[in-house]
Homo-oligomer: A and B are copies of this chain.
Amino acid sequence: MIKEITSRILNPDEFIENQIREISNTVGDGVAINALSGGVDSSVVTALGHRAIGNRLKTFFIENGLMREHEPEQVRSMFEDIGISVEIIDAREDFFKALRGIDDPEEKREAVTQTFYKKVFGKLVRESGAKYLMQGTILTDVDETVAGIKRQHNVFEQLGIDPEQAFGYRIIEPLIQLRKDGVRLIGKALGLPESVFKRIPFPGPALAARIIGEVTPQRVEIVRNATAIVEEFLKDTGAFQYMAILHKDRVTGIREGNRDFGLQIEVRCWDSVDARKATPTRIGFDILEKLGSAIVNQVPGVVSVTYHIATKPPSTMEVV
């Protein structure tokens, strides 16, 4: 049983100090490795780890082909600005090959996990000689994985899987007692830029979690376009998270007087404190209408746009 540290009782400086000490003690004079996605969890882990063991933490950004527009370059340059160097690994082919033909959400997450750990990251770890893997697992990931709602890519011990035996390295999860709001406080206390510690959550399987049905480069490109539009329109809402989802269902539409059997994009925008419960953000129809028009006009093939209006539960934040 993991002991939760709520954001109300969290003392950020003390927490950081404790974690730095613990990481240093664990790794000793060894080498650790971590994968940075640019999300708040992995960014905070990256900053914590570098505080603790400096350049003996090797930080990689895995370009899996599932990230948002310009994301790999933006993340690297942001960390360069605070003196942390990040290496980008192009693994797009591996991921798309693993995802080919997969429709089921759980199998999809599993394909991303397995490709990440066994193929791409496992190879990096072996080559680096690192025996320690740092990860941004938070308590909500553990809850949802244990409940069987979602298979998070970074919760092995809770499932009775020994990562050392299964993958050859020991996992360090400094944020596992926190929820998202606590992680943001730590990010702020570490001096990360606001764009990082206030960054909206983005899932482990990245845009693959925003696609119903098969994940192909073409379908990722569609949801990537829609995501850029949604993020631009909704960035000032103050919402917890917002996203575009590509449906598999096709719907009837009409273009220049002719029938167009096209695609549907679903927009979700959530108000939430810690992702355990969430309600749809009350966005004005001025914005919703412009958003709908922008998506149908700028994303080829899309004829229909919806806005999610149910709460979590029984919905989840992501669709996959």
Contact = CB atoms under 8 A, between A and B. Distances in A.
Interface of A: 105, 147-150, 212-213, 247-255, 257-262, 266-267, 279-280, 282, 285, 288-289, 291-293, 295-296, 303-316, 318-320
Given A253-B314, A304-B314, 16 more contacts: A147-B259, A149-B252, A247-B249, A252-B316, A252-B320, A253-B315, A254-B315, A254-B316, A260-B314, A262-B314, A266-B306, A295-B310, A303-B315, A304-B310, A304-B315, A305-B310
A252 B319 CA distance: 5
Contacts of A293: 310-311
Copy count, this protein chain:
2
A212 B309 contact: no
B313 A292 contact: no
**Main secondary structure on A side of the interface with B:** mixed
A319 to B, nearest CB: 5
Task: Give the 7 A-B residue pairs with the shortest CB-CB distance, closest first.
Answer: A306-B306, A292-B309, A282-B285, A149-B259, A292-B310, A305-B310, A303-B314
Contacts of A318: 252
Contacts of A150: 252, 259
Contact of A309 (B149, B291, B311, B314): B291
A254 B313 contact: yes
A140 B160 CA distance: 62
A75 B314 CA distance: 36
Nearest to A148: B259
